[in-house]
Amino acid sequence: MAMGDYESTATSLEGEENLIAAAEHIVKALGSNKNFTKDVKKILADLGSQLSTMAAIEDNMVEGKKSGIEEQLSVVEEKIMSWESDDSMIWDSGPDEVAEYLNAVDGARKLTERLENQCLSSQEEKDLLCRAHDVLQMAMQRLEDEFKHVLVHHRQPFEPEPISFRSSEDDAVEEGSIVSLGDESVEESTLRDSISRNSEEFIVDLVHPDVISDLKCIANLMFSSNYDHECRQAYILVRKDALDECLFNLEIEKLSIEDVLKMEWGTLNSKIKRWVRAMKVFVRPYLVSEKWLCDQTFAELGSSNLVCFVEAAKAPMLQLLNFAEAISIGSHQPERLVRILDMYEVLADLLLDINALFSDEAGSSIRIEYQEVLKRLADTVRVTFLEFENAIATKVSTSPFAGGGVHHLTRYVMNYIRVLADYNETLNILLKNHDGAAATSLSPDTSPATGEESITKDFSDSCSPMALHLQSLTSVLEANLDKKSKLYRDASLQHFFLMNNIHYMAQKVKNSELRLIFEDKWIRKHNWKFQQHAMSYERATWSSILSLLKDDSNSSSGSTSRTVLRERLRSFYVAFDEVYKTQTAWIIKDVQLREDLRISTSLKVIQAYRTFVGRQMQHIGEKHIRYSAEELQDYLLDLFEGSQKSLHNPNRR
């Protein structure tokens, strides 16, 4: 008898048995009524007798039915047991073997349910039910192994595509150029990931598409057999291993918060870069694809898809979030700001994805933790930004900067600001006060001591928070540079130093995207500032020297006048030689600024020299003329090269 026919017959017999029992009960109840006549009582007695006969016949049929269940159980047991001694996997043996085994398991499940729904009185019947349970359990254990095997054996390799990087600095190289800030080393340029923030979500096949139906079939059968817990645990175990392997391939290590806090910045910097890349790949596309696989496997099984996905993804997600949390509670050193911004941006960018992936109650803990870490990173960005400003203000020098060139602090700050411009949108959000107004952090103690109005006042209240904060940073930098300039004893070198540094600041803003943030008014003001310092340098250096060449209306052709003129010319040469010796060691690295200052100086010096010599030649005498105007002009071209020379050195060229 086929399994379906047998079950139909069994159901029919069970219905008849219940009907006869009910009829017997009614007849007995009626027979106890004393108001019935003898004839009625006789009819009821005959009916009771007939029902007893039918019950006896029914008992015989039930015995046959139970015998049929035992037969069916033996058939499916034989099929299931045949694979227990076989080390090969059923799903590697072809579709026919898979179909036969699944039919046998489904038969065991139905027979077990059938026996559980009966009122079992004899020990023999109870033993049969126990045997059915054992067969079903054996089949479920096998299916669990097969389920894992299919998930593992048919897993598709996941290899994220290489991510290209772009530099935030025009001259940046892949590893970044390093500048020195006192005893610290900081990155002048920072490489940022070029993955599009608006890239479309896509799903990759984490297991071969051909076995999805097999996974669904096994899951459905295990769930209908009340082995849903075992099925879920098997799935979670395999997929969690796959997620862990994904993180391993993305070079994400399992680190405690303490491990992260103890790391040297160079090592931590590299790990943050890997973390940012890993977050992007892990959520998109890996977790998105993981969720899709889970949905396909448990599509017909209620909320199991959500539970399995969350349980598999929880530990890897927390591993990533713990690293971010460690960064948020770690040092607020300025060089970390850009990396923390990278971490904040990637978490903010993926927030909608996380909310969608973990939208249900089961995923609420991950969703909440993710949002908390994002908030802590935002707070860390604000604090680190203010620490950056404070570090600029308190970077004290005890000795003047050699050569009066662009100070390391100036380079550091302006290159850092240029990098921060890439985060304009993010910083505009994070640097707002709670009431939405732009926050400014420039304090009276750190304002530039130049007697000029604050930079912030130069800009309207409509400026973005980012613009106001960066203007504040440059104001603090200028105040620090002004203090550093006071370390020079030579007034001309003080102005030379400030000219160099303010020109550098203005050029960095003018020739980059910072121009859009600072605007032209700031650039014009700082162009005016460095030009004023250039003129002050010329006055401090050359005014007293050129005064020696001024035409004296009291001059005459007398011997005393010739002596004075010759002494003035000699003093001019001595002063010129000293300037040459001193200022060839000074440095202007910007070619255009160097040429402009040389030309401006040359026009004043050479014109005064030519005029003096031309008018006084007959009184001075040619033998007292040490240099021609052309020679002096050539000597002036040696200034500001950063290599000290002397006019008395024949090998100066």
Residue 549 in tokens: 């060449």
pLDDT of residue 115: 80
Q: What would the pLDDT profile of 314-349 be if each residue is shown by its tens digit? A: 999 999 999 999 999 998 988 899 999 999 999 999
pLDDT in tens, 254-306: 999 999 999 999 999 999 999 999 999 999 889 999 999 999 999 888 888 88
Q: How many C-beta neighbours within 10 Å does residue 329 have?
A: 12
User: What confidence tier does 443 reach under pLDDT thresholds 50, 70, 90?
Assistant: very low
Looking at 128-244, which runs of residues are DSSP E strands?
Answer: 165-167, 178-181, 184-187, 191-193
- Containing H/E element for 493? helix 491-510
Crossing angle between the packed helical segments 465-485 and 514-546, to the nearest 10 degrees = 20
Burial label, 629 (beta-carbon count in 10 A; 0-12, 13-18, 19+): middle
Q: Please tell me the least confidently modeled range out of 133-142, 147-156, 586-595.
A: 133-142
Q: Which DSSP state fits 520?
A: H
Considering 2-11, 462-471, 487-496, 644-653, the range whose residues carry the highest mean pLDDT is 487-496
Of the ranges 169-178, 185-194, 362-371, which one carries the lowest mean pLDDT score?
Answer: 169-178
From residue 376, how far is each of 139, 253, 322, 325 by CA, in Å?
A: 50, 22, 12, 7
User: Under a CB-based contact definition with an 8 Å cutoff, are residues 507 and 410 in contact?
Assistant: no
Q: Are 477 and 491 in contact (CB under 8 A)?
A: no
| Interval 438-442 mean pLDDT | 42
* Residue 451 pLDDT: 39
Choose the most confident range, by mean pLDDT, from 122-131, 450-459, 504-513.
Answer: 504-513
**Which residue has better confidence, 138 or 436?**
138
pLDDT at 635: 94
89-137 pLDDT tens trace:
989 989 998 998 898 888 888 888 888 777 666 777 777 778 888 888 8
Under DSSP, the state recorded for 647 is T
- Lowest average pLDDT, out of 136-145, 175-184, 353-362, goes to 175-184
- Supply 110's token pair: 């139905």
CB proximity list for 358: less than 8 A, separation 6 or greater: 310, 364, 366, 367, 370
Is 294 buried (19+), middle (13-18) or exposed (0-12) by CB count in 10 A? buried
Token pair for 155: 């897993």
The H or E element containing residue 518 is: helix 514-546
Q: What is the pLDDT of residue 652?
A: 44
Q: How confident is the model at residue 440 (pLDDT cuts 50, 70, 90)?
A: very low
Give the other-Cβ count within 10 Å of 427's Cβ: 25
Question: Residue with structure tokens 């940012």?
Answer: 276
Give me the sign of the Cα torsion angle 142, 145, 147, 153. negative
Beta bridge partners of 438: 432
Q: What is the pLDDT of residue 80?
A: 81
Evaluate if residue 450 carries a pLDDT over 50.
no
β-pair partners for 24: none
- Provide the whole-model pTM: 0.74
The model's pLDDT over 46-82, given as tens digits with 9 standing for 90+, comes to 666 556 555 544 444 444 455 677 888 888 888 888 8
pLDDT at 417 over 80: yes
pLDDT-derived band at 192, boundaries 50, 70, 90: very low
Residues 6 or more apart from 292 whose CB is under 8 A from it?
Answer: 203
Question: Three-class SS string for 266-310?
Answer: HHHHHHHHHHHHHHHHHHHHHHHHHHHHHHHHCCCCCCHHHHHHH
Q: Is the pLDDT of residue 651 over 80?
A: no
Residue 544 has pLDDT above 50, yes or no: yes
The helix (H) or strand (E) run that includes residue 412 is helix 408-420
- How many Cβ atoms are within 10 Å of 305's Cβ, its own excluded? 23
Query: Is the pLDDT confidence value at 85 over 90?
Result: no
Average pLDDT on 623-637 reads 92
d(Cα 535, Cα 597) in Å, to the nearest integer? 9
Q: What percent of the chain has pLDDT over 70?
A: 76
Amino acid making up residue 295? D
Task: Give the confidence band of 454 by pLDDT, cuts at 50, 70, 90.
Answer: very low
pLDDT given at position 188: 40
Residue 430 or 448, more confident:
430
- DSSP H helix total and E strand total for the chain: 21, 4
Tokens of 70: 């035992």
Q: Provide mean pLDDT across the span 197-213.
A: 76
